[in-house]
Amino acid sequence: MSLAAAQSKKVSFRAKESTVCPICDENHQKEQMFQGGGRLIAGKLAQDLRRLYEKNRKFGRVSPLDYVMSVCPRCLYSSFPKDWSALNPADNEAIRMATDSRRSYIEKILGPLDFTGDRQIVLGAASYLLGMDCYQLRGASVAPTPKKAVCAIRAAWYFSDLHEEFPHIGYDKIRDFLYQKAAVIYGYTLELMQNGNEPVDQAAGMLGPDTDNNWGFDGVIYLNAYLTKKFKDQMAPKPEDQVLLLSRAKRTLARLYGSGKASKGKPGPIVEMTRELYDEYNAILEAMGGEK
């Protein structure tokens, strides 16, 4: 069989150059996804800005998100590729010291993992949980907060899929926890966009939240409002606190809605979804006796 024919049957390949882990010095070949060849069959865009993909008859389940995070198969250090080596000594030491707890934590959720194998749904989920854990130990210079938000919502998508495949394990509880975590971190990200305590522009190219369209800071505003509405009961149990929470999110959303109407440069899908979400906010707040 020719090389071209063999590649046409595969989803991914191993990079020729070795990747060296900055934490434990492990050498490994990063797995990357082949482009083209009819591997991806794009479906609809979900309300949480996730691009859904149809199952491919030839290749089965294919998700570009599987291959985004760089993960060391030895110490399970995980990051976006841009940040892989951008570690100061304090961050490096903190992540190295947390190796055993990181492995124990992830294996309690997903069982034993082997990142020398090909990426699939379990390793994809693990890569983002590990990313959240490692960015928790990173300094402000790499803008860890928006990156944790992206990791959280992508991990929630994975656990949504895992729950569909294995409905009796309780992955739906982890999914909902991750969505709530994303809601809180997206709120923090909005604050950082205003106070400048982290260089959030560094995360602009990876805000996604998915890989097909990078909605950037517009996506942050939209997702903050979407997740706040979805998890208002968990984020603010008291009705009066919910009104305050929703009112604050609506005001931010209103700026995105207004700029979308005024600018022809805004991508159509997010403008339309923002309009629908803004109308939902009005109805909810009116029913709760809050601002209209």
> ∠ at Cα 182 (180, 184), nearest 5°?
75
User: Would 227 be classed as within a structural domain?
Assistant: yes
Under 8 Å between Cβ of 138 and 84: no
User: Would 5 be classed as within a structural domain?
Assistant: no
For residue 235, the number of C-alpha atoms closer than 13 Å in the C-beta half-sphere is 27
> ∠ at Cα 102 (98, 104), nearest 5°?
125
For residue 264, the number of C-alpha atoms closer than 13 Å in the C-beta half-sphere is 0
User: Would 162 be classed as within a structural domain?
Assistant: yes
Which residues make beta-bridge pairs with 55?
none
As for how many domains the chain has, the answer is 1
Q: Which residue type sits at 179?
A: Y
Q: Which residue type sits at 82?
A: K
pLDDT in tens, 134-186: 999 999 999 999 999 999 999 999 999 999 999 999 999 999 999 999 999 99
* Intervals of the chain under pLDDT 50: 1-6, 262
User: Would 72 be classed as within a structural domain?
Assistant: no
Residue range(s) defining the domain that contains residue 191 = 145-291
Residue 168: left if φ>0, alpha if ψ -120 to 50, beta else—which one?
A: alpha
What is the predicted pLDDT for the residue at 2? 41
d(CA 193, CA 266): 19
pTM to 2 decimal places = 0.91
User: Would 44 be classed as within a structural domain?
Assistant: no
DSSP H helices, the chain, are: 3-7, 89-97, 99-110, 121-135, 144-165, 171-195, 216-230, 232-235, 239-262, 268-287
Nearest to 154, CA basis, from 114, 133, 127: 127
Residue 213: left if φ>0, alpha if ψ -120 to 50, beta else—which one?
A: beta
What is the predicted pLDDT for the residue at 5? 42
CA 71 distance to own-chain centroid = 15
User: Would 121 be classed as within a structural domain?
Assistant: no
d(CA 247, CA 81): 37
Helix, coil or strand: residue 177: helix
User: Would 53 be classed as within a structural domain?
Assistant: no
What is the predicted pLDDT for the residue at 104? 97
Q: Could you identify the residue written with the tokens 């005001």?
A: 251
Cα dihedral sign for 24, 25, 28, 32? Answer: positive
Nearest to 76, CA basis, from 12, 152, 23: 23
User: Would 257 be classed as within a structural domain?
Assistant: yes
Structure tokens that stand for 113 in this block? 């993992």
